[in-house]
C-alpha cells in the first residue's frame, strides 16, 4: 500500500476518533423527559405518604404505599434506561465508506447491505462495539471476498456481498455479519494451531468442526510474520473476543468452503442493570449474569459417586451425552472449603481432594467396630452411622451452575442456589481492579455486597480453555494404533456380532454416526453410504478376520476413521462405551489379520482392532 493510499484512511480514522471522543452528550425525546418528570413527581408524593404512615404507625397503609413505590421505581428505571438507548445505525453508518475504500485498495467488487439500523442499544455498548465490528467487517472484505477473477472461476458473481444485520431478540441484540466469500480454511487453521503449540495433532482429530473454527480466536494476533500492511484472518481476532467477553457478549462463527462465512454476535441491551442468578459459597453471595447461564443442576448426595466421572485428571458429569467439566467455585477463588458435621453441627474443614471422594469402607468399618465395642449394639450404631454419613446427608448434594464461556460450557459447583434478581452493576474500586474472576459488584436487598462473577476469567483461572474440551471427547496423548504394553489410554468398546466385543484406541476415531441398514448401498462390489455430500466406503471386521459376521439389525453404527487422506467407515453395533484401561495386549493367542490381539475389559475378553491392517488388506492400492 502506498503512502498516498494510506493518507485518506489515516485522516478518516483520526477524524472518527475525535468524533467518538467528543460524544459526551445524547439527544432525548421531549416526551420521554415529560414522562420522567411525571414519575419523579409521583415518587415524591409516594415518599410523603410513606413518611406520614410511619409517623402515625399505620402499617396497613404502609404496605400499600410500599407497593406503589415499587411500581413507580420500576417504571422510572425503564424510562431512564430509554434515555441511554441509541440506534445501532450510529455504528453501522460508518461501514459503507470503510468497505468501499478497502474494496478499492484490494481491487475487489463488494457491496454492503445493512439491515436493522433502528435497533436500539445502550450508548456504552455502542461505543465499545465499534472496534470489534470494524475488525470483523474488514476481515470479511480482505480475507473473505475473492477478487473478481477468482469469483468467475468459481462461477460466482464478480461482485461479492456482505450483509450486516441487527435484531432485538429475548432481551439481547443479535448482530450478524455474513459474506458470500471463500469461507475459512479449517484445515489450514488447525495446522497453524498445531504449529503454534496450541493443540496437538491427536487433539485436533477429536475436535468437531465448531471447535476447530473457535481456534480462530486462540491463535496469537501478534504473529511476527504479520504486519498491519499484511492483515490476515487471524490479526486481531483474539482482541475481538476479549472485547466481547468484557461486554458479556458471545460470538459464534460458521463457515462453508467457497460459499460463505457467518458470524453472529449476541450482546446485552444494557450494562447498567442486568438480570443475574444469585448463588452462595462458604457464607458469601455471588451473582452470575444470566447471559452466561445455561441451566441449573442438582445431584443428590447418594448419586454423586456414580454421576461424577474422572477423565484424565479432570472431573466431569455426563449431561445429555456430553461430558461437562466441573469446577468448584471455592477452589478457584482460593476460599477454604468447609462442611457442617451432621453429628454435632460444627463446621469442619473439607479435606476431600475430588468431588466424588467419600468415606472409605475401611474407615466405616473401623468406626463401627469402635462404637459397637462401647455400646455392644452393632445394628444401632450401623444405622446411626448410615444416617449421619455425609454420603446420604441432603446438604451433601451438589448444586451445579452450568455456564458458557465463549464456545465452551462448564459446571460451577456452589453451596446454595438462590433467587434470580435484576441488579445494578457497580465497577470495582481501583485497588480491586487486578482481582481476576470478578466483573463488578452490587448491593443486595439486605444491604450486603455481592460480587459479580466473570465466568470467562474463572475458566482461565481453572485452566479451562476451549481447546481443553477435546480432552473430554476422548483425545489421547498417545500416538498410533493400540500395540503397546502397560500404557493407560482411552478405548472405544463396541460390538459387531452378537457375542463378541471389540476395542480400538479412541484417538483413531474421527466420528461415530448412527445409521439405518437401508442407508447402506452395494455398488461396484463395495459397501458405501452417502456422507457429507459424498460417498463413504464401509467395511466390516469379518471382511478380513475370522469373527462372527455383523449382526443383522436395522439400527447400526458407523465408526469413521481417517486412513491416509481418505475416510473409511467401520460398521458396528451398539452399545458403545469408552474405558480408560491399562493396555496389556495378548499379541499371540487371538492374533490374526485385522486383529492386533486381545485384552480383558470388565472381565470380558475383548479383541483389539487394527484398522490400518484391515484397510491395507481390503484396499492394497
Instruction: Tell me the pLDDT tens digit for each residue of 327-352.
Output: 888 888 888 887 766 566 677 777 77
CA distances from 41 to 45, 63, 81, 83 (A): 6, 20, 18, 18
**Range 473-500 average pLDDT:** 56
CA 185 from chain centre, in angstroms, equals: 22
- Most confidently modeled of 42-56, 196-210, 241-255? 42-56
Question: Bigger pLDDT: 373 or 489?
Answer: 489
Kindly report whether the global pTM for this prediction surpasses the value 0.85: no
pLDDT at residue 517, as a whole number: 87
- Most confidently modeled of 254-263, 373-382, 391-400, 571-580? 254-263
Cis peptide before 575 (omega within 30 of 0): yes
The dihedral built from the CA positions of residue 55, 60, 62 and 65, taken in this order, carries a sign that is: negative
Q: Is the pLDDT of residue 380 over 60?
A: no
- Taking alpha carbons only, the member of 502, 505, 479, 468 closest to residue 490 is 505
> Which of 69-83, 104-118, 477-491, 539-553 is predicted least confidently?
477-491
Close Cβ partners of 222 (under 8 Å, ≥ 6 residues apart): none
How many other C-beta atoms can be found within 10 angstroms of the C-beta atom of residue 138?
18
Please report, for the chain, the start and end positions of each structural domain, with discontinuous segments joined by +: 30-84, 88-268, 275-461, 479-618
Domain pair 275-461 / 479-618, same fold: yes
531 band by pLDDT with thresholds 50, 70 and 90: confident
Q: Is the pLDDT of residue 372 over 70?
A: no
Q: Which CATH number fits domain 479-618: 2.40.50.180, 2.70.170.10, 3.30.2000.10, 2.60.40.1180?
A: 2.40.50.180
pLDDT at residue 20, as a whole number: 46
What whole-number distance in Å separates Cα of residue 411 and Cα of residue 404?
A: 9
3-state SS of the chain: helix, strand, coil percent to 5? Answer: 35, 35, 30
436 band by pLDDT with thresholds 50, 70 and 90: confident
pLDDT at residue 163, as a whole number: 92
237 close to 256: Cβ distance less than 8 angstroms: no
> Which of 32-36, 168-172, 391-395 is predicted least confidently?
391-395
Architecture of domain 88-268: 2-Layer Sandwich (3.30)
What whole-number distance in Å separates Cα of residue 284 and Cα of residue 441?
A: 13
- Taking alpha carbons only, the member of 189, 196, 191, 210 closest to residue 407 is 210
Question: Bigger pLDDT: 455 or 347?
Answer: 455
**Terminal-residue alpha carbon distance, the chain:** 50
- Per DSSP, what are the bridge partners of residue 438? 453
pLDDT at residue 162, as a whole number: 92
How many other C-beta atoms can be found within 10 angstroms of the C-beta atom of residue 171?
12
Question: Bigger pLDDT: 447 or 573?
Answer: 573
Name the CATH superfamily, with its identifier, for domain 275-461: CheA-289, Domain 4 (2.40.50.180)
CA distances from 605 to 136, 430, 601 (A): 55, 64, 6
What percent of the chain has a predicted confidence (pLDDT) above 70?
76
Amino acid at each position: 500500500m502506498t503512502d498516498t493510499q494510506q493518507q485518506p484512511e489515516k485522516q478518516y480514522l483520526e477524524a472518527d476518533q475525535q468524533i467518538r471522543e467528543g460524544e459526551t452528550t445524547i439527544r432525548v425525546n421531549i416526551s420521554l423527559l415529560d414522562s420522567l418528570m411525571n414519575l419523579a413527581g409521583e415518587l415524591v408524593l409516594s415518599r410523603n405518604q410513606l413518611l406520614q404512615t410511619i409517623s402515625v404507625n399505620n402499617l396497613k397503609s404502609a404496605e400499600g404505599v410500599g407497593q406503589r413505590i415499587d411500581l413507580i421505581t420500576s417504571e422510572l428505571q425503564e424510562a431512564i434506561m430509554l434515555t441511554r438507548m441509541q440506534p445501532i445505525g450510529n455504528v453501522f453508518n460508518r461501514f459503507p465508506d470503510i468497505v468501499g475504500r478497502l474494496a478499492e485498495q484490494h481491487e475487489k467488487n463488494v457491496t454492503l447491505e445493512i439491515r436493522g439500523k433502528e435497533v436500539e442499544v445502550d450508548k456504552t455498548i455502542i461505543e465499545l462495539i465499534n472496534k470489534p465490528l470494524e475488525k470483523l467487517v474488514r476481515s470479511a472484505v480482505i480475507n473473505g471476498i475473492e477478487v473478481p477473477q477468482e469469483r468467475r472461476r468459481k462461477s460466482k458473481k464478480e461482485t461479492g456481498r456482505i450483509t450486516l444485520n441487527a435484531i432485538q431478540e429475548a432481551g439481547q441484540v443479535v448482530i450478524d455479519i455474513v459474506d458470500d466469500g471463500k469461507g475459512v480454511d479449517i484445515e489450514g487453521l488447525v495446522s497453524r494451531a498445531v504449529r503454534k503449540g496450541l493443540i496437538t495433532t491427536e487433539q485436533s482429530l477429536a475436535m468437531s468442526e465448531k471447535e476447530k473454527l473457535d481456534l480462530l480466536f486462540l491463535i496469537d494476533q501478534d504473529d511476527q510474520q504479520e504486519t498491519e500492511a499484511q492483515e490476515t484472518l487471524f490479526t486481531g481476532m483474539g482482541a475481538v473476543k476479549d472485547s466481547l467477553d468484557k461486554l458479556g457478549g458471545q460470538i459464534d462463527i460458521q463457515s462453508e468452503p467457497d460459499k460463505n462465512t457467518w458470524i453472529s454476535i449476541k450482546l446485552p441491551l444494557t450494562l447498567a442493570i442486568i438480570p443475574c442468578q444469585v448463588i452462595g459459597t462458604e457464607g458469601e453471595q455471588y451473582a452470575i449474569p444470566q447471559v452466561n447461564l445455561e441451566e441449573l443442576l442438582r445431584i443428590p448426595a447418594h448419586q454423586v459417586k456414580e454421576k461424577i466421572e474422572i477423565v484424565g485428571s479432570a472431573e466431569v458429569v455426563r449431561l445429555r451425552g456430553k461430558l461437562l467439566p466441573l469446577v468448584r467455585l471455592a477452589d478457584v477463588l482460593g476460599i477454604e472449603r468447609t462442611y457442617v458435621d451432621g453429628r454435632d453441627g460444627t463446621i469442619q474443614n473439607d479435606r476431600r481432594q475430588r468431588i466424588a471422594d467419600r468415606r472409605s469402607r475401611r474407615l466405616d468399618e473401623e468406626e463401627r467396630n469402635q462404637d459397637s465395642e462401647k455400646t455392644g449394639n452393632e445394628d444401632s450404631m450401623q444405622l446411626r452411622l448410615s444416617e449421619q454419613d455425609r454420603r446420604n446427608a441432603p446438604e451433601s448434594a451438589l448444586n451445579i451452575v452450568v455456564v458458557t464461556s465463549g464456545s465452551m460450557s462448564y459446571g460451577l459447583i456452589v453451596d446454595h442456589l438462590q433467587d434470580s434478581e435484576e441488579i445494578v452493576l457497580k465497577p470495582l474500586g481501583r485497588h480491586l481492579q487486578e482481582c481476576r474472576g470478578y466483573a463488578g459488584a452490587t448491593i443486595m436487598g439486605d444491604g450486603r455486597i455481592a460480587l459479580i462473577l466473570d465466568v470467562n476469567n474463572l475458566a482461565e483461572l481453572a485452566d479451562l480453555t476451549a481447546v481443553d474440551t477435546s480432552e473430554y471427547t476422548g483425545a489421547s496423548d498417545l500416538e498410533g494404533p493400540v500395540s503397546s504394553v502397560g500404557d493407560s489410554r482411552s478405548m472405544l468398546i463396541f460390538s459387531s456380532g452378537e457375542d463378541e466385543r471389540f476395542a480400538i484406541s479412541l484417538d483413531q476415531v474421527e466420528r461415530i454416526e448412527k445409521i439405518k441398514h437401508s442407508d447402506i448401498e452395494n455398488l461396484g462390489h463395495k459397501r458405501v453410504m452417502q456422507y457429507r455430500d459424498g460417498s463413504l466406503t464401509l467395511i466390516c471386521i469379518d471382511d478380513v478376520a475370522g469373527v462372527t459376521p455383523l449382526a443383522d439389525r436395522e439400527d447400526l453404527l458407523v465408526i469413521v476413521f481417517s486412513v491416509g487422506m481418505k475416510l473409511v467407515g467401520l460398521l458396528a453395533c451398539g452399545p458403545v462405551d469408552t474405558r480408560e484401561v491399562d493396555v496389556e495386549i495378548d499379541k499371540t493367542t487371538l492374533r490374526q489379520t485385522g486383529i492386533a490381539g486381545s485384552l480383558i475389559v470388565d472381565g470380558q475378553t475383548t479383541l483389539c482392532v487394527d484398522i490400518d491392517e484391515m484397510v491395507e488388506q481390503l484396499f492394497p492400492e
